[in-house]
Structure 1
Amino acid sequence: MSVTLLIEQLLNGVQLGTMLFLMASGLTLIFGVMGLINLAHGSFYMVGAYATAAVTASTGSFLIGLGAGIAAAALAGALVELIVIRRLYHRPHLDQVLATFALILIFSEGTRFIFGSSPLRLSPPSWLTGFVTLPGDTRYPIYRLVLIGVGIAISIGLYLLISRTRLGMRIRAGESDREMIGALGVNISKLYTLVFALGAGLAGLAGALVGALQSVQVGMGEPVLILAFVVIVIGGIGSIKGALFGALLVGIVDTLGRVYLPIFFRAFMPPSEATGVGAALAAMLIYILMAVILAFKPKGLFAAHD
């Protein structure tokens, strides 16, 4: 039983980590290329989930809804960059924080105005329901395994995009010396819009996929945004590899902590107290992990500009 529980929770941690990677990779790309602190990134996660839920309900096709969610988040990101973010690149970080926090409120209230305050339901397609049997007689949902596979595929695709394509070369150059690539004739404004839309689309994909596991509701992106910031700080700001390793580390540590810390404290505390203490420590565990890592690696595990 304990081995089965461990395998199941490890997979849950990897699944959480891959979804966090989709959020964190876009966030770290935007900060690495543009130097922008974007608190509104979680709003694109919410946009992707709502668009997917609405289109899936109207068409009956989860795949069409998923495509609509990604497109809606990417389009929202491009419009936000053109209308608001473009005016913030040379402003102090405090201005960026205030402006993007205002965007959170605008997206939240706009979503509530369009869809109402009640959560929307989004279910996985029928062909992704059910379970598979893993080693140790562990029955695990097919949909969660698909999420892990999608996260792995996206990480490989991002690696190839950044390392093997002309666009990736420009993104890497933009991280290192944006003035130089501008002098070489690269349209910096177009590049920034494209990167911002890419990051927003990845967040929208994460929201669309996770929306089928939980209710789709206003404000659903903010808790995930906090975890995504923890991920990029642990992994190293501006590093895609750091975002991947940081996301998996956070996902596994958070999941195992929430399951095993209450069990550990039950060995020498009453069950009710053990559950409370274990849950409280589990909630702090990833922040303790971040503090320990930063004590030894102040720029994160894979700093982009070491």
Structure 2
Amino acid sequence: MTRFIERHPAWALILLIAVAVLLWLILAVWPPGLEEAIGRKRVFLNALFNGITLGSLYFLVASGFTLIFGLMRNVNLAHGSLYLFGGYIGYAISAWTGSWILGFIIAFLGVALVGIVLQIAVFRRMEGQDLRQTMVTIGLSIVFADLMLWAFGGDFYQIQTPSWLIGPIDLPLVTAVKSSGEAVYLRYPLVRLVILVAAIVIGIAMWLALNRTRVGMMVRAGVDDRDMLAATGVPIQLVFVAVFALGAGLAGIAGVVGGTFQSLSPGEDTRFLLASLVVVIVGGMGSIPGAALGAVIIGLAEQLGSVYIPTYAIVVTFLIMVLVLALRPQGLLARR
């Protein structure tokens, strides 16, 4: 941090001012009598938290994508189909058994199994052939989309939130004080906060597994020089199958999350594939912290843009991507 300030004092000052303004917008208490301003601040805070929680969903999808695409160099453009398939599995299991948690478990295992089949049947046969991987997985995504449309139809599905997660809670954040002296707190859905916490826990666990364990060391070594690692006796293909299954399973979990606080419908696979690509480009290939940062940036851009500039909200997202590609093509936190 000190080195960054010494090398880029102007950018450090701009970032400091931006952080100060953001903290003021979040923590400042509006004076009594400004009911209209109170409403505007509540809208801003809801958009802010919605952006962060949407970023947690994008992170769950993009973290699996960055494992497969960024670390293993497998171009899997059927990743969005894995997201939607996991959501449909979670919906079917939760509707059948009434268990939201069981839907998560079965979705993870089912989509991880599909990932294993893809890795063995497709990517192992096309290692290093990016163009072939791209074309084949585009074709597979179209086939998967048609199969899911045939099985589930074109309806919208909503996964039922469990009773213990239904309803809002008061966050310890005073947004205003009314003229009567009553403090106004921000109320926010509990399920979104739980999903945010779960995404943070998963992200930390993935980072620790990749950077502080022997398996993570083998994965990174296998990507850099798989022949040398195989010569040491490590079952490199087995390791890659496990990583691919984990990345696919995370997409399945994300489908259940998305179906819980949003909805499931045809076309969501394309939307989340595109979001994953943007997040990985912004955050950096093969970087779990980069995927987290990129997901939060894109989630905030979408939500704040939809509230304040709804006509150009999608433009803001791609403008961020263009700026990152122009100024730092490797991504904000690219893996070295």
Tell me if both proteins adopt one fold, taking TM over 0.5 as the criterion: yes
Q: Please give the residue correspondences for 1:28-43 in structure 2 after superposition, counting only pairs within 5 Å.
A: 28-43=66-81
> Which residue of 2 is the match for residue 89 of structure 1?
127
1:208 aligns with 2:256: yes
Structure 1 unpaired stretches of 5+: 262-278
Shift of residue 16, structure 1, vs aligned partner: 0.9
- For 2:236 and 2:70, locate their aligned partners in 1 and report how far apart those are by CA, in whole Å: 14
> Which residue of 1 is the match for residue 165 of structure 2?
128
TM-score if structure 2 supplies the norm length? Answer: 0.82
1:100 aligns with 2:107: no
Equivalenced residues, count: 287
> What letter corresponds to residue 41 of structure 1 in structure 2?
H
Deviations 1:118-151 (A, max 9, x none): 3333111111000011222211111111111111
> Which residue of 1 is the match for residue 47 of structure 2?
9
TM-score if structure 1 supplies the norm length? Answer: 0.90
> What letter corresponds to residue 87 of structure 1 in structure 2?
R
1:231 aligns with 2:279: yes
Query: If you compute each CA radius of gyration, which structure gives the higher value, 1 or 2?
Result: 2
Q: Please give the residue correspondences for 1:63-212 in structure 2 after superposition, counting only pairs within 5 Å.
A: 63-91=101-129, 93-134=130-171, 135=173, 136=175, 137-212=185-260
- For 1:63 and 1:293, locate their aligned partners in 2 and report how far apart those are by CA, in whole Å: 38
Secondary structure of the structure 1 residue equivalent to 2:262: coil
> Which residue of 1 is the match for residue 29 of structure 2?
none
How has the CA–CA distance of structure 1 residues 179 and 250 changed in structure 2, closer, same or farther, with 3 Å as cutoff?
same
> Which residue of 1 is the match for residue 303 of structure 2?
255
Contact 1:45 1:206 in 2 (8 A): yes
Deviations 1:38-86 (A, max 9, x none): 1000111011101111011111111111111111111111111112222
- For 1:178 and 1:259, locate their aligned partners in 2 and report how far apart those are by CA, in whole Å: 48
> Which residue of 2 is the match for residue 274 of structure 1?
none
Secondary structure of the structure 2 residue equivalent to 1:139: strand
Contact 2:107 2:252 in 1 (8 A): yes
> What letter corresponds to residue 319 of structure 2 in structure 1?
I
Shift of residue 192, structure 1, vs aligned partner: 1.5
- For 1:132 and 1:300, locate their aligned partners in 2 and report how far apart those are by CA, in whole Å: 36
Aligned identity (percent) is: 40
- For 1:174 and 1:17, locate their aligned partners in 2 and report how far apart those are by CA, in whole Å: 30
Shift of residue 256, structure 1, vs aligned partner: 0.8
> What letter corresponds to residue 297 of structure 1 in structure 2?
R
Contact 1:48 1:208 in 2 (8 A): yes
> Which residue of 2 is the match for residue 268 of structure 1?
none
> Which residue of 1 is the match for residue 181 of structure 2?
none
- For 1:257 and 1:218, locate their aligned partners in 2 and report how far apart those are by CA, in whole Å: 24
Shift of residue 182, structure 1, vs aligned partner: 1.6
How has the CA–CA distance of structure 1 residues 258 and 116 changed in structure 2, closer, same or farther, with 3 Å as cutoff?
closer
- For 1:33 and 1:281, locate their aligned partners in 2 and report how far apart those are by CA, in whole Å: 33
> Which residue of 1 is the match for residue 59 of structure 2?
21
> What letter corresponds to residue 300 of structure 1 in structure 2?
G
> Which residue of 2 is the match for residue 275 of structure 1?
none
- For 2:149 and 2:220, locate their aligned partners in 1 and report how far apart those are by CA, in whole Å: 38
> Which residue of 1 is the match for residue 30 of structure 2?
none
Deviations 1:148-170 (A, max 9, x none): 11111111111111122221111
- For 1:176 and 1:168, locate their aligned partners in 2 and report how far apart those are by CA, in whole Å: 13
Shift of residue 230, structure 1, vs aligned partner: 0.5
Deviations 1:63-122 (A, max 9, x none): 11111111111111111111222212132x221111001111221122233333333331
